Every structure is written in structure tokens, then in C-alpha cells.
Amino acid sequence: MTKTLIIAEHDGHTLNPSTAKCASCATAIGQPFDIVVMGSSLGEIAAQAALIDGTSTVISVDAEALTKPLACNHAAEVVAMADGYSHILGPSTTYGRDLMPRIAALLGVNQVSDISNVEGAYHFKRPIYAGNAIVDVQAPEDVKLVATVRVASWKSASDNGSATLEDRAAAAPASGHTRYVGLEAGGGERPDLQSASRVVSGGRAMASAENFDLIYSLADMIGAGAGASRAAVDAGYCPNDMQVGQTGKIISPDLYIAFGISGAIQHITGIKDAGTIVAVNKDADAPIFEVADIGLVADLFKVIPEMKQLLE
Ligand SMILES: Cc1cc2nc3c(=O)[nH]c(=O)nc-3n(C[C@H](O)[C@H](O)[C@H](O)COP(=O)(O)OP(=O)(O)OC[C@H]3O[C@@H](n4cnc5c(N)ncnc54)[C@H](O)[C@@H]3O)c2cc1C
């Protein structure tokens, strides 16, 4: 049996674009693939998944215990259906990074992390050392392959597919040791950082949480996600789920605008795959200008209000 199972990520209403990126990786692996969607009232999400090009079957598992993205419940369910698959893929998003190691552990295998390129069904490339080196990974072929797909490295599969839809009852019991309390997301209603086509970020130079309103208001004017450097997060100017970089989120927007961010290697790692990088920094020697497509040596506290005025 050489077949791939992709675990769909969604927010209960919309399929996360990371699923279509995993599909591109599965296509490169070269085996038929199914997508599993877990949660409740899944009709619309399953229909979105069925459009992903190359998908054989979209399996919907509708159960109360799967409504919230609790890794303990989702992992147990995936393991219960793992028999028919040689490969199990999930996205390298917060959801996937929480879920996939648990699946790997339950199956007794090592996880392959952050696949950025496929060389063969068990042969991959992935970045290490903050993206400064690319390592070749040869995974064993006699055990199941559990892997995360580095979503910033893959384009979404097209949406002209017509997969079969299948409903399946949950096969794993709900966990008794973990319960869902709530979700606090820093970005508010703004686009999810890891799938936004535009991202506006602020660094330490923002100097306060109040000043971050400049970032949020500009982001809202152009329909962008809001990000931050680790220094800004550590200083308490914004929540840590906004952090972009090696120990934050790896993103690949078409447009990335950085205000008052110096361009440390750990930050650049998170934006390497961005289409156009715009940097505003008052230090002409700031390293971010080495990677920026457009650089402006200026005070962000002047530039942002001017940009907003132009957009109004
Ligand atoms: C293991 C490890 C992991 C890390 N992971 C991450 C990570 O995931 N993400 C991340 O971002 N960092 C990460 N870091 C931290 C990283 O090394 C830097 O310390 C951090 O990115 C610096 O943030 P910054 O650019 O906001 O601050 P600074 O480096 O202090 O830069 C502030 C910049 O603002 C400019 N500036 C000041 N005032 C203004 C103004 N008024 N207008 C315009 N520009 C102005 C300055 O010229 C300066 O370039 C990590 C570090 C380590 C060791």
C-alpha cells in the first residue's frame, strides 16, 4: 500500500491554505492521496477540500470530540485510520507542529520535519540552522512516514479537483485528560499570518504596545496580517503568536513590510520565501536592507502615518 493521507487544517468554517500546499507535496511524492477532515458540521470544509487537485477521497470524521483542534483527540483518530497509508502529512503550522509528533510517537516512528523539497518517496530536503543549510533526509521505507510539510516552500495545488466524499464515524475514544479551554489569537480578525498574502510587521523600534496600533491599523487598511520580531514580542508589545522567524512563524506572503526591524538572521529565516520585502529602518546599515527588495531609510513614526494618509 503506497498511499498518502493529508490532515486538513481548518477553523470550523474555512479550509486553511496549508492543506492545498500539503497536496502539492503529496503530488511530488507521487502517490495517490486522500485528505481527512476532522471536526463537526464538515460539509462546507469537505467540499473545499474535494476541489484540491489530485485528491482521491476526502474523508470526513464528524465527532464532538474532534470539534476543537486538540492534538490528543486528532492524533488518536488519525492513528486509527493509518493502516491504509504509507505516508501521513500535515502542515508545519502551529496545528501541524502540535499534532504530527504525537501521531509519530503513537505509531512508534520518527517524524520527518519541514519537507521543503521531494527527491523521492522517502527522500526529502529540509532547511536547518535557520535556513542556512539544506539537509538531505533519507527516511526508512519499511515503516510509515509521518512528516510536516514546510508550507512556505510549496505553492497551493490548484482547485479544479473533484474528489470523492466519504463520511466515517470516529474510531478513537475521546481523551479524558485534556480539555479545550479557549483560543486567544493576537491577530484578531486579521488574516492568518501563515496564509496571508500581505504581512505588516513591527520590531523593537515600535517602543510600546500602544504604538503597535500603527501596525494594526496599516495592516487593516491593506488587508494584511500583523507580525512582529521576537524583540517586540519579548518586550510585551504584542502577543507571541505574532512572532515571525526561526522560533516564530515561517511565512511566505507576496508582500512583507518590516518597520523598525534590524534583520537578524533568526528573523530573516521566517521571511526568506516572501515575494517582495519592504523595509523601513532609520539605520542605513541595518542588515534587513541586504534582503529587502525596497528599502526606505526613514523614521517609521513618520512613514506609517504618511502611508495611511495616502491609502485613505
Ligand atoms: C535562538 C534564537 C532564536 C530567535 N528567534 C527569533 C525569531 O523567531 N524572530 C525574531 O524576530 N528574532 C528572533 N531572535 C532574536 C533576534 O536575534 C533579534 O534579537 C531580533 O530579531 C531583533 O528584533 P528587532 O529587529 O525588532 O530589534 P533590534 O535588533 O533592536 O532592531 C531594531 C531596529 O529598529 C530600528 N529603528 C529604531 N528606531 C526606529 C525608527 N523610529 N524608525 C525606523 N527604524 C527604527 C533600528 O535601527 C534597528 O535596526 C532569536 C534569537 C535567538 C538567539
Ligand 1 atom closest to 245 (CA): 8
Mean pLDDT over each residue of the chain, to the nearest integer: 95
Residues 139 and 148: their CA atoms lie apart, in Å, by 13
Residue of the nearest CA to atom 31 in ligand 1?
A: 262
Supply the pLDDT for residue 183: 80
Q: 227: CA distance to ligand 1 center in Å? A: 12
Q: 266: CA distance to ligand 1 center in Å? A: 9
Q: 289: CA distance to ligand 1 center in Å? A: 13
Residue of the nearest CA to atom 35 in ligand 1?
A: 260
State what percent of residues in the chain have pLDDT above 90.
Answer: 92
Q: 126: CA distance to ligand 1 center in Å? A: 25
Ligand 1 interacting residues, C-beta cut-off 6 A: 203-205, 229-232, 243-248, 260-262, 264, 266-267, 270, 280-283, 286, 299-301
Residues 261 and 134: their CA atoms lie apart, in Å, by 26
Residues 90 and 95: their CA atoms lie apart, in Å, by 9
Residue of the nearest CA to atom 19 in ligand 1?
A: 231
The preferred substitution site among 282, 290, 297 for testing ligand 1, maximizing ligand atoms within 8 Å of CB, is 282
Asked if 176 and 52 touch (Cβ cutoff 8 Å), the reply is no
Ligand 1 atom closest to 299 (CA): 42
Supply the pLDDT for residue 282: 98
Q: Which of 92-101, 189-198, 261-270 has the lowest mean pLDDT?
A: 189-198
Residues 257 and 16: their CA atoms lie apart, in Å, by 23
Looking at the whole model, is its pTM more than 0.75? yes
Instruction: Report the candidate in 165, 150, 172, 170 with the shortest Cα–Cα distance to residue 58.
Output: 165
Supply the pLDDT for residue 132: 85
Residues 293 and 33: their CA atoms lie apart, in Å, by 38
Residue of the nearest CA to atom 34 in ligand 1?
A: 260
What mean pLDDT is predicted for residues 252-274? 96
Q: Which of 194-198, 228-232, 281-285 has the lowest mean pLDDT?
A: 194-198
Does the structure show a pLDDT above 90 at 131?
no
Directed axis angle between helix 212-221 and helix 300-311, to 10°? 30
Does the structure show a pLDDT above 90 at 207?
yes
Residue of the nearest CA to atom 4 in ligand 1?
A: 266
The count of other CB atoms within 10 Å of the CB of residue 97 is 16
102-116: pLDDT as tens digits? 999 999 999 999 999
Residues 84 and 105: their CA atoms lie apart, in Å, by 18
The preferred substitution site among 199, 272, 281, 289 for testing ligand 1, maximizing ligand atoms within 8 Å of CB, is 281
11-65: pLDDT as tens digits? 999 999 999 999 999 999 999 999 999 999 999 999 999 999 999 999 999 999 9
Ligand 1 atom closest to 301 (CA): 41
Asked if 52 and 25 touch (Cβ cutoff 8 Å), the reply is no
Ligand 1 atom closest to 231 (CA): 23
Residue of the nearest CA to atom 22 in ligand 1?
A: 231
Does the structure show a pLDDT above 80 at 88?
yes
The count of other CB atoms within 10 Å of the CB of residue 80 is 15
DSSP state of 195: T
Supply the pLDDT for residue 1: 66
Asked if 110 and 144 touch (Cβ cutoff 8 Å), the reply is no
180-203: pLDDT as tens digits? 998 876 666 788 898 899 999 999
Supply the pLDDT for residue 188: 66
Does the structure show a pLDDT above 90 at 90?
yes
What mean pLDDT is predicted for residues 253-258? 97
What mean pLDDT is predicted for residues 303-307? 97
Supply the pLDDT for residue 114: 96
Q: Residue-wise over 109-146: b if at least 16 C-beta within 10 A, else e?
A: bbbbbbbbbbeebbebbbbeebbeeeeebebeeeebbb
Provide the pLDDT confidence category of residue 137 given band limits of 50, 70 and 90. Answer: very high
For residue 38, which amino acid is it?
M
Asked if 111 and 43 touch (Cβ cutoff 8 Å), the reply is no
20, 24, 30, 36: CA torsion to nearest 10? -20
Asked if 20 and 43 touch (Cβ cutoff 8 Å), the reply is no
Q: 131: CA distance to ligand 1 center in Å? A: 18
Task: Reduce the DSSP state of residue 192 to 3 states and report it.
Answer: coil
